[in-house]
Structure 1
Amino acid sequence: MEVENLLYDKDCTCPICKNQFTTKKVRTRSLRIENREDDFNVIYKNINPNYYYIWVCPKCGYSSTEKEFENINKNQATILQQSIGVKWNERSFSGVRTFHEAEESYKMALLVAQILKKSKAYTGGICLRLAWLYREAKSPKEEEFLNYALNFFQNAYQTERLDAAGLDEVTLAYLNGELNRRLGRQREAIKWYSVALDHPDIKTKRHIQLKAREQWRLAREQYGHEKDEAN
């Protein structure tokens, strides 16, 4: 099936400049899961929905996730107009996106998040999805953005109300473990998996409980191999 047939146009109004534009969204009924990775990346046949996760206003450059797109006040709008809008070269992200257009959309969303001092959990989520894009492209930048995501997430766990970001402590503790494991930090991974498994809410997250146990054993095994090789 052609990519165009898996997408539809969503009408949007930019909360910054009031420009009306369209952005592509994926028809969920057309998605077919091929694989689920342990850091929550879902791989689909025929299309990668992450290409269209960020909405970008073609006129002023304002970029955000759909959920956060209208979550902006007048003061923030003024700040973005002065910092991004005056430098932005108008261009459209409304068609079928290339890898480089998807990459740019995430980098713009990260810039906006930085300027507006968005939550660490939100910013970490954007970094993680960008890392997934780089993974698909087999780019070495994957590790760089996994690192960024991990730093944001670990700080978020300690300092933020996670429910406001659509996360919970059990899931984020597990994810911190998995990102540490993928980055070769097995001792830290074991610690974070244990945080998830020892959390009082773990029994309400059965799928996370099972996955955390499995990955805890894997990290212990990998850590043992590292110690053997060091001796």
Structure 2
Amino acid sequence: MSDNQLAPLYDKHETCALCKSTFTSKKIRSRFIKLDHTDTDLCPYYKDEEISPLLYFVKVCPKCGYSYSDHFGTYFPEGTRDAIENLVSAKWVPHNYGEERTVQQAIQTYKLALYCATLKKEKAIVLASLLIRLAWLYRKAENIKEERRFLELAVEKFNESYLEAYYSNTDMTEIRVMYLLGELNRRLGNYDKAVAHFSKVVDQQNSTLEKKVVDMAREQWYTTRDLMKKEQEEEAPNVES
């Protein structure tokens, strides 16, 4: 079957880990995912933004409201299942997010997943991955205030995940987390912290296979140093001769 006959989106069958009901969630066929470029904090842009994996990262059970990503663990720590059932499912108005999504609908699914992840006591890296993607969606929606808010929250969780040193079942590694801590702090104007994290990445250039991340860190280190210098010059008092 040719691409012309295939739809970019297809229904993937899911089984809710909370209520065990089955449902479908949209997924994009890989052949249709055409990356155009990425921002320096790894935010992806696609040739067709309507066919963006970011929109379908979160699955939402239409029956009980449990929302999650593939990064979530299968284990529910003691008491967390009851917490989600009482605080999410008991208040859930059946809603189907299993169709094509807009950016605003995707944002709603991320917020649901963040709430579920918090109640489920997921690892910090799981929450960080949701928070940075949510910031990216707000960037695409040109909502600078909310983008910044979620970047700040992402920094907190990436810091926690770096201390936990736990990245299983995610697309993150220690060196990527260090890089993102540098880049997110740079974007937030925390230049000293940014430089410190970029330096840590560059220091690992001989012990990592992720050479592209090292190159990005080196480039952003120079960029940040220039920004710091410019900021210092602007803050320096003008002394008349």
TM-score normalised by the shorter chain: which range applies?
over 0.9
Q: From 72, 87, 90, give the equivalent of 1:86.
A: 90
Q: Give the superposition deviation at 1:214.
A: 0.5
Residue 28 of structure 2 corresponds to residue 23 of structure 1: no
Gaps of 5+ in 2: 237-241
Residue pair 1:181, 1:219 contacting (<8 A) in 2 also: yes
- How do 1:141-220 and structure 2 match up within 5 A? 141-158=146-163, 160-164=164-168, 166=170, 167-199=172-204, 202-220=207-225
Structure with more of its chain in helix, by fraction: 1
Structure 1 counterpart of 2:134, from 130, 137, 150 = 130
Listed as ranges, the gaps of 5+ residues in structure 1 are none
Change beyond 3 A, Cα 1:119–1:175: same
What does the per-residue CA deviation read over 1:181-209, in whole Å, with 9 as the maximum and x for residues that have no partner? 11111111101101111237643221111
Distance 1:126 1:146 in 2: 11
Aligned pair 1:114/2:115, yes or no? no
Describe the shift of the 1:136–1:202 C-alpha distance in structure 2 as closer, same or farther (beyond 3 A): farther
Distance apart, 1:67 and its partner CA: 3.7
Amino acid at match of 2:39: E
Larger radius of gyration: 2
* Count of residue pairs the alignment pairs up: 229
Deviations 1:32-81 (A, max 9, x none): 11111111111111122111000000111100102427444685333311
SS at match of 1:96: coil
- For the aligned residue pairs, the C-alpha RMSD in angstroms reads 2.0
Q: C-alpha offsets along residues 75-102 of structure 1, whole Å, 9 cap, x if unaligned?
A: 5333311221101111000100122211
**Runs of 4+ with >6 A deviation:** none
Q: Percent identity?
A: 33
Q: TM-score, normalised by structure 1?
A: 0.92
| Whole-Å separation in 2 of the counterparts to 1:5 and 1:67 | 26
Q: Which amino acid aligns with 1:119?
A: K
For residue 102 of structure 1, what is the amino acid of its counterpart? Answer: A
Report the secondary structure of 1:94's partner residue.
coil
